Protein backbone atom coordinates (compact mmCIF):
# COMPACT_ATOMS: atom_id res chain seq x y z
CA UNK A 1 0.00 0.00 0.00
CA UNK A 2 2.75 2.45 0.93
CA UNK A 3 4.74 1.82 -2.26
CA UNK A 4 1.61 2.29 -4.39
CA UNK A 5 0.87 5.60 -2.68
CA UNK A 6 4.45 6.76 -3.27
CA UNK A 7 4.32 5.83 -6.97
CA UNK A 8 0.99 7.62 -7.37
CA UNK A 9 2.37 10.73 -5.70
CA UNK A 10 5.49 10.99 -7.86
CA UNK A 11 3.82 12.43 -11.00
CA UNK A 12 2.15 15.15 -8.92
CA UNK A 13 5.48 16.10 -7.33
CA UNK A 14 7.09 16.15 -10.80
CA UNK A 15 4.29 18.36 -12.16
CA UNK A 16 4.62 20.73 -9.20
CA UNK A 17 8.39 21.07 -9.73
CA UNK A 18 7.92 21.71 -13.46
CA UNK A 19 5.21 24.29 -12.76
CA UNK A 20 7.46 26.20 -10.35
CA UNK A 21 10.33 26.14 -12.86
CA UNK A 22 8.05 27.50 -15.60
CA UNK A 23 6.78 30.27 -13.31
CA UNK A 24 10.34 31.26 -12.37
CA UNK A 25 11.40 31.24 -16.04
CA UNK A 26 8.44 33.42 -17.05
CA UNK A 27 9.21 35.78 -14.15
CA UNK A 28 12.80 36.27 -15.32
CA UNK A 29 11.73 36.67 -18.97
CA UNK A 30 9.28 39.38 -17.94
CA UNK A 31 12.00 41.11 -15.89
CA UNK A 32 14.31 41.04 -18.92
CA UNK A 33 11.56 42.49 -21.12
CA UNK A 34 10.80 45.23 -18.57
CA UNK A 35 14.47 46.11 -17.96
CA UNK A 36 16.51 45.40 -21.12
CA UNK A 37 19.56 47.20 -19.73
CA UNK A 38 19.92 44.59 -16.96
CA UNK A 39 19.71 41.86 -19.60
CA UNK A 40 22.54 43.52 -21.54
CA UNK A 41 24.66 43.67 -18.37
CA UNK A 42 24.07 39.96 -17.88
CA UNK A 43 25.29 39.23 -21.41
CA UNK A 44 28.36 41.43 -20.89
CA UNK A 45 29.31 39.51 -17.73
CA UNK A 46 28.85 36.22 -19.61
CA UNK A 47 31.20 37.39 -22.38
CA UNK A 48 33.80 38.34 -19.75
CA UNK A 49 33.56 34.87 -18.26
CA UNK A 50 33.97 33.35 -21.75
CA UNK A 51 37.12 35.45 -22.34
CA UNK A 52 38.58 34.28 -19.04
CA UNK A 53 37.93 30.66 -20.03
CA UNK A 54 39.68 31.17 -23.39
CA UNK A 55 42.73 32.64 -21.64
Domain boundary assignment for the chain: 19-55
The pTM for the full model equals 0.43
Query: CA 36 to CA 20: how far, in whole Å?
Result: 24
pLDDT digits (tens, 9 = 90+) for 12-54: 999 999 999 999 999 888 887 776 665 555 555 555 555 555 5
Give the other-Cβ count within 10 Å of 3's Cβ. Answer: 7
What 3-state class would DSSP assign to 13? helix
Q: Where are the beta strands (DSSP E) in the chain?
A: none
Angle between helices 36-54 and 2-34 (to 10 degrees): 100
Amino acid sequence: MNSKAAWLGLPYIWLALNATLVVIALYYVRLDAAFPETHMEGQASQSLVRDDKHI
